[in-house]
Homo-oligomer: A and B are copies of this chain.
């Protein structure tokens, strides 16, 4: 028989922290904390198996579930000494979701469950506080009505506001027990009108419906969106568990309270507890940012005993979980309860600092330290930061909390819909809100950064922004947001939608206009982490760089060479595009060679500059790849101008353009197909490469081993014909310079047929480099330029798990890659094989590259550290 329910309480639990996929993160940790003796309110967890069953069986439950719930309830009654629905000592419970992956605020929660006319009286009598009991009851009806039965939240709020107005009070706390009773009655009436039934009084029915609502909330819009954004693979982690737990109250009076704390600073990683609390409040009050909470250290003064207990529990939790914890707690009449612990979300800089310091503290070893940082998080450490030298030239608008670091500029928008719409058109936007709520998730994701007027460091905005790695300034009390007018005010300054601001999330500052940024360096903890990564990784990490500037950045970030230098970008530069165009419109080989002779010295100096920066590290140069028409103008007036400049008729130039026009240029006359029809182009390029290397050897005694890469090979004969054309030029250039150079010649693998015949090609080619952009295009038959019209839908509807242009499709493209490696190395054992498509900087792709035994990955300069870490993790995890 299946076991669907796992109880915890009274110092022992059925579950443990290793049962996350069954019990969800929250449930597993509640069990674990119970087992290690921490004060956790008793309760039970309905496993994710039930959720699976629910969705696989048209929203029904396993038949034995009801009995299991009953017996779990009885056990809970025993542990707590209270009874569900009892008229004297009633048991109240919370019903909370909890999936295997943390999805904060995405699914439903119901609190104070078990209240009705009878039990509310018992509660009031028991604690001698009528007002508290009726407040709990009206909150329960509001939550149940909204969350479980779908009655609009605003309708409840309207009743509350009406009574407050009638009573002439502003704060809820000023309402009397009688007021709350009146509100409760009105709520019930509202409920009856909306649902055509009385508000359910039977706690069992309340519980059944609440459980049902929580399971249903797995597939609400917000939750689906969250999983999309966070790329949650539902085939791996499906469904939520439901946690039913005895209520404890932080709002029973001044010796009660509730709080949230991180065992280390989640924004900077600094050691020491970091958190906030509110006395006489429920948990929602802290995270929703409605009242501004006190820092955790202030608790020492409010209740030093509880504070000491809490600090020691934090210490126990961090040592037990070996990670920074995000803890929720409640103090009920002076007694501390821990309601939740989980690994805390953190910014990139915090992740690095925490990982390195935990290693230094001896809590974890280097390997585990490396695994604690998600490679993508490093992006935040590499992103530009505000240039300190420039700051003084700009107007500082306001200062708030440094909720999530980074420096971003953009146009302000005032709601999530505008944020998404404008971002879709390519606009960079900053989302400004009084406070954020789970409905804003998509808008936050679409924004460069978030600015809120209210809420602390653990407010919704701050937590979510850090999770997303987005810059955020929170609790910026100086600003007054008018969502209706789409403006915000700071003193007498009014900032309207579309105005540009810059946020400095590390300093918590807001500036008017766009402030220039600078590139951060790799130092301190970051450098240490990179050092460890290099120690454990097996994959090499190179960079894709076409310019000396890019090459320099990549070297600073630890690139071990250039994996792809695209020579065509050099062709576009202003001082040479004219000669390039002359070459293209040439009628004869002689004319073409004359034009190429003008380009030659420029190409040579390009290569010389690149080689110099890489100072002996390998540099892989891809010969001209794009179709020639890309170099010619498209607009009539540009054509006229060019024709005049070139001294040919417009008509002739237009004819040439027409002649070069292609229906599907991606599969047209490009790559080595150009090299075969116009060998003189590649011959010029190869000569420039070898000449540059020869000169550096003579002038600076610098040993360069150029790697010459032929693009778009699909058949060994294409490669052979290129060898025939190019090798004599290479030999001759070395001879003319009286220099002997080592060099390598190899090919891109970017055409499916090249992968399918890799054994043949490996007979001649000395290396392979996967051009996964083209390989993905051809393998899927997706043009990257055109797939926008359907690819988004494909990813949203999970037809494809991910955009294959961002992360290599391991099933299809990966199969070709795997075949290539096997077949290639069979013919040429140990041949070096890399990847230089854009996916080369994607951590998942890097794991895959490690698995299939590639020699190195090559990525854009700013992703080099990410690749180094991902490569290390791949090695450690395999």
A interface with B by C-beta (< 8 Å): 662-669, 673, 676-677, 712, 714-715, 717-718, 721, 750-753, 756-757, 760, 774, 777-783, 785-787, 789-790, 793-794, 797-800, 809, 811-813, 815-816
Contact = CB atoms under 8 A, between A and B. Distances in A.
Nearest to A812: B753
B668 A800 contact: no
Contacts of A677: 789-790, 793
Contacts of A797: 676, 721
A726 to B, nearest CB: 16
Given A712-B781, A799-B717, A812-B753, A667 B666 contact: yes
B667 A782 contact: yes
A667 B753 contact: no
Contacts of A783: 662-668
Contacts of A673: 790
Among A676, A714, A798, max chain B CB count under 10 A is at A714
B664 A812 contact: no
Contacts of A790: 669, 673, 676-677
Contacts of A800: 715, 717
A799 B718 CA distance: 6
Given A780-B714, A781-B712, A799-B718, A668 B787 contact: yes
A34 to B, nearest CB: 42
Contacts of A782: 667, 714
A717 B794 CA distance: 9
A813 to B, nearest CB: 7
A491 B787 CA distance: 66
Nearest to A659: B789
A714 B756 CA distance: 17
Contacts of A718: 799
Given A757-B812, A779-B778, A812-B757, A668 B717 contact: no
A756 B779 contact: yes
Contacts of A787: 667-669
Given A669-B787, A717-B799, 9 more contacts: A662-B786, A667-B782, A668-B783, A668-B789, A669-B789, A752-B780, A753-B779, A757-B812, A778-B781
A628 to B, nearest CB: 10
Contact of A752 (B665, B666, B774, B812): B812
A234 to B, nearest CB: 13
Contacts of A715: 799-800, 812
Contacts of A662: 783, 785-786
27 contacts: A663-B666, A664-B666, A665-B783, A667-B777, A667-B778, A667-B781, A667-B782, A667-B783, A667-B787, A668-B787, A668-B789, A676-B790, A677-B790, A714-B780, A714-B812, A717-B799, A718-B799, A752-B779, A752-B780, A752-B781, A753-B779, A753-B809, A753-B813, A757-B815, A760-B811, A774-B781, A778-B778
Among A717, A751, A753, A782, max chain B CB count under 10 A is at A753
A798 B676 CA distance: 12
Among A760, A774, A778, max chain B CB count under 10 A is at A778
Contacts of A778: 667, 752, 778-779, 781
Nearest to A714: B780
Contacts of A780: 667, 714, 751-753
Contacts of A712: 781
A715 B779 CA distance: 11
A781 B676 CA distance: 16
A343 B760 CA distance: 38
B676 A799 contact: yes
Contacts of A816: 752, 756
Contacts of A714: 779-782, 812
Contacts of A811: 756-757, 760
A785 B664 contact: yes
A750 B662 CA distance: 22
Contact of A781 (B721, B751, B756): B751
A747 to B, nearest CB: 13
Contacts of A665: 663-664, 783, 786
Among A756, A785, A789, max chain B CB count under 10 A is at A756
A11 B782 CA distance: 69
B799 A664 contact: no
Nearest to A677: B790
B789 A717 contact: no
A874 to B, nearest CB: 23
Nearest to A661: B786
A664 B777 CA distance: 11
Among A667, A781, A783, max chain B CB count under 10 A is at A781
Contact of A664 (B664, B757, B760, B779): B664
Among A717, A809, A812, max chain B CB count under 10 A is at A812
* List of 9 A-B pairs having minimum Cβ-Cβ separation, nearest first: A664-B783, A667-B783, A753-B812, A668-B786, A663-B785, A717-B799, A662-B786, A751-B781, A752-B752
Contacts of A777: 667
Contacts of A676: 790, 793-794, 797, 799
A458 B800 CA distance: 65
B667 A756 contact: no
Given A778-B778, A799-B721, A786 B756 contact: no
Contacts of A668: 783, 786-787, 789
A872 to B, nearest CB: 30
B721 A786 contact: no
A786 B753 contact: no
Contact of A786 (B664, B752, B781, B786): B664
Nearest to A781: B751
A820 to B, nearest CB: 12
A760 B799 CA distance: 14
Contacts of A717: 798-800
Contacts of A663: 665-666, 783, 785-786
A714 B812 CA distance: 9
Contacts of A760: 811
A640 B433 CA distance: 47
Contacts of A799: 676, 715, 717-718, 721
Contact of A812 (B669, B721, B756): B756
Nearest to A669: B789
Contacts of A794: 676
Nearest to A667: B783
Nearest to A662: B786
A721 B790 CA distance: 14
A811 to B, nearest CB: 6
Contacts of A785: 662-664
A235 to B, nearest CB: 12
Nearest to A813: B753
A692 B499 CA distance: 61
A681 to B, nearest CB: 14
A752 B760 CA distance: 19
A753 B476 CA distance: 52
Nearest to A751: B781
A552 B598 CA distance: 63
Nearest to A776: B753
A425 to B, nearest CB: 14
Contacts of A774: 781
A430 to B, nearest CB: 29
Nearest to A712: B781
A844 B778 CA distance: 26
